[in-house]
A and B are shown apart, each in its own frame.
Chain A
């Protein structure tokens, strides 16, 4: 039992520590890439090519004073950032990072995930819907009207886009016939043409854009706009403030990984011959590209107006995904048409 607990602790550390490190360095790359796009240098002073900048930022945030407003609910004020960060981290428990036989130690390849759940996809949906509480609590506990308006804005945004996201995932389930993330990846084996981005390309777009809104990234960063007095975290400072951005970047990594797993073939190479390169590299490479796209969005698009954003979520994405569920269903069960979609159907 002690050994098992030790292995669990190691597994958790093996995922949590790289996430924390990559969050730190994504902030660095974000600044460099946006600088590059906007023909500036970006941060290049601390360390070689500015590589120590994230450490300096972290140190600065640690040394800053944490201010708790006088009439705030102290317990919930301090608890809210933790409530926001925890779901972003525990969602990674079911993400399969690849398959391994541990250099021939096992006969059959094992899935590299902390928990290999039958309902991994639902688990991700359920857990990622929980970070809303952190944002709601932050706004309420601050006892400030700007913060509470910000938290209501954020919550509305996240709830709205979650629905479109969930319906989009239904089409993935229809093709893969499983909620198990590893099964969904297995269903896309065999090269680029088998990836779900081919039959589900509109859903890929909806999922990724909704992911932008879920993580509160530009063009949907109404959660932290300057002209609307920031948002739910307006009263936060120092490390507690940084915890919220940690949650945001964690969500961004999660969305990138999920998009790669669900639509871009997970740990499989675009050409089967290239599968000699370990799958984990493929998965992380795809996710890294999608993170780059997130940053690219940020440098390119202006922010949505609030009513436009709500309209996009409810009046465009929702009917669009519902319609696509219908289309996929018709294709699966109509004789004659099913020949087209059988190529991607894992369960037939």
Chain B
């Protein structure tokens, strides 16, 4: 009973937040709606006793990824008039994608893939099953290669981002930290006999 209430609450709110992301005019509000959406998804994970996934979703997506999103969006200057100029130009392409997606959604949902019937239903394992340990086991044994490849790709992306943005400007002034740290009182203060 209580579970259904909370499922409807989290599920409904995440759908509403998703709609809010698309419909709100203010990009900042969109980001906040997306964060709300992630929170509700985390709530759904918690309801399945998958607390590790729920917490990681909040930690990575809400705590790290969305902060960067917000940083970028804060710096954007949104000029609505300029955005509207391109609408007619992109309408045919956008419309085509929308129609294609609609057909795919209808086809997929009518094909019976989403029918419950004999499908496995997510189960509760409670506190006894430590899903942190379980995920760790499977990630570091069965999916080790994929895990390592993902890590390498992230590392390459990291290095790439730094390489792309680094600019050694000749006129920039830098502090020599070693020299600063090495400074002792004798270098700065001189006793003068008056």
Q: Is the CB of A122 within 8 A of B67?
A: no
Of the candidates B2, B52, B63, B177, the one whose C-beta lies within 8 Å of that of A130 is B63
Q: Is the CB of B63 within 8 A of A118?
A: no
Bound Cα distance from A126 to B63, whole angstroms:
7
The reply on B71 being an interface residue by CB < 8 A is yes
The reply on B70 being an interface residue by CB < 8 A is yes
The reply on A84 being an interface residue by CB < 8 A is no
Q: Is the CB of A125 within 8 A of B59?
A: yes
Q: Which residues of A pack against B, CB within 8 Å?
A: 1, 73, 76, 117-119, 122-123, 125-127, 129-130, 132-133, 136-137, 140, 148, 152, 155, 159, 162, 179, 307-308, 311
Q: Is the CB of B59 within 8 A of A129?
A: yes
The reply on B127 being an interface residue by CB < 8 A is yes
Bound Cα distance from A148 to B28, whole angstroms:
14
Q: Which residues of A contact B63 (CB under 8 A)?
A: 125-126, 129-130, 132, 162
Q: Which residues of B contact A179 (CB under 8 A)?
A: 132
Q: Could you tell me which residues of chain B, from 55 to 80, have a CB within 8 Å of some CB in chain A?
A: 55-56, 58-59, 62-64, 67, 70-71, 74
Q: Is the CB of A148 within 8 A of B74?
A: yes
Q: Which residues of A contact B51 (CB under 8 A)?
A: 117-119, 123
Q: Which residues of A contact B137 (CB under 8 A)?
A: none
Q: Which residues of B pack against A, CB within 8 Å?
A: 2, 26, 28, 32, 35, 51-52, 55-56, 58-59, 62-64, 67, 70-71, 74, 127, 130-132, 175, 177
Bound Cα distance from A93 to B171, whole angstroms:
51
Least Cβ distance of B43 to chain A in Å? 13
Q: Is the CB of A136 within 8 A of B67?
A: yes
> A123-B55, A125-B59, A308-B177 are known contacts; what are 14 more A-B pairs with Cβ within 8 Å?
A118-B51, A118-B131, A119-B52, A122-B59, A126-B58, A129-B62, A130-B58, A132-B63, A136-B74, A140-B74, A148-B74, A155-B67, A159-B67, A162-B63
Q: Is the CB of B127 within 8 A of A118?
A: yes
Q: Which residues of B contact A119 (CB under 8 A)?
A: 51-52, 55, 132
Q: Is the CB of B70 within 8 A of A126?
A: no
Of the candidates B2, B32, B59, B177, the one whose C-beta lies within 8 Å of that of A1 is B2
Bound Cα distance from A308 to B183, whole angstroms:
15
Q: Is the CB of A127 within 8 A of B52?
A: no
Find the A residue at minimum CB distance from B66.
Answer: A133
Interface centre among A76, A118, A162, A311 (most CB of B within 10 A): A118
Q: Is the CB of B62 within 8 A of A130?
A: yes
Bound Cα distance from A127 to B52, whole angstroms:
13
Q: Is the CB of B59 within 8 A of A155?
A: no
25 pairs from A and B in contact (CB 8 Å cutoff): A1-B2, A73-B26, A76-B28, A118-B52, A118-B130, A118-B132, A119-B52, A119-B55, A119-B132, A122-B56, A122-B59, A123-B55, A126-B55, A126-B56, A127-B58, A129-B59, A132-B63, A133-B67, A133-B70, A136-B71, A152-B71, A159-B64, A159-B67, A179-B132, A311-B177
Least Cβ distance of A101 to chain B in Å? 20
Bound Cα distance from A127 to B54, whole angstroms:
12
Q: Is the CB of B74 within 8 A of A307?
A: no
Find the B residue at minimum CB distance from A127.
Answer: B58
Return the 8 tightest CB-CB contacts between A and B, nearest first.
Answer: A129-B63, A126-B59, A126-B58, A122-B55, A126-B55, A119-B51, A119-B55, A140-B74
Q: Is the CB of A129 within 8 A of B132?
A: no
Q: Which residues of A contact B175 (CB under 8 A)?
A: 307
Q: Which residues of B contact A123 (CB under 8 A)?
A: 51, 55
Q: Which residues of B contact A155 (CB under 8 A)?
A: 67, 71
Q: Which residues of B contact A73 (CB under 8 A)?
A: 26, 28
Least Cβ distance of A169 to chain B in Å? 12
Q: Which residues of A contact B67 (CB under 8 A)?
A: 132-133, 136, 155, 159
Q: Is the CB of A129 within 8 A of B64?
A: yes
Bound Cα distance from A213 to B107, whole angstroms:
53
Bound Cα distance from A152 to B68, whole angstroms:
11
Q: Which residues of B contact A307 (CB under 8 A)?
A: 175
Q: Which residues of B contact A132 (CB under 8 A)?
A: 63, 67
Bound Cα distance from A293 to B178, whole angstroms:
29
Q: Is the CB of A122 within 8 A of B177?
A: no
Find the A residue at minimum CB distance from B53.
Answer: A119
Find the A residue at minimum CB distance from B74.
Answer: A140
Known contacts A129-B59, A136-B67, A155-B71; is-contact A122 B28 (Cβ 8 Å): no
Least Cβ distance of A12 to chain B in Å? 17
